[in-house]
A = this chain, B = another copy of it.
């Protein structure tokens, strides 16, 4: 399999995760929630996620071309499933506490994947860092929004 072939498969998996954002939009419910001061403006989210999904697919493709990358790819599968789960849980079912559990597990899976990538390919490992930083912000947001909107 070529790098671009792998890239296509991982990008398709990322598109499945991204599709949740088109089906479950924040809408009026999210707009009315109390949000912390560090909440980015709405347009930032699709821009950042688009970059992250593409760079992640490229990183995974680099890793897939490396021998002994099975664990790294298993962790990719785990994080893309958790990533696909979060948006419907938070914006669809509006279950903020369960969303917090999912994003915590997602953070752990991405951290483990980042280490596995780093051991196989320096560039691939470094490409995971922005994803982990963004998830840290997203987790902090989820936590604060949950805490500050218990009554809803």
A contact residues vs B (CB 8 Å cutoff): 1, 5-6, 9-10, 12-14, 16-17, 19-20, 23-24, 60, 64-65, 67, 69-71, 73-78, 80-85, 88-89, 92-93, 95, 98, 102, 105, 109
Enumerate 29 A-B pairs (CB-CB under 8 Å) in ascending A order.
Answer: A1-B71, A5-B71, A6-B70, A9-B78, A10-B77, A12-B78, A12-B109, A13-B77, A13-B82, A16-B82, A17-B85, A19-B85, A19-B89, A20-B85, A23-B89, A23-B92, A23-B95, A23-B98, A24-B92, A64-B70, A64-B73, A70-B73, A73-B74, A73-B77, A76-B77, A77-B80, A80-B80, A81-B83, A92-B92
State the CA gap A23–B94 with chains docked (Å): 10
Residues of B within 8 A of A109 (CB): 12
Residues of B within 8 A of A82 (CB): 13, 16
Taken together, the copies of this chain in the complex come to 2
Q: How far is the CB of A127 from chain B (nearest CB, A)?
A: 16
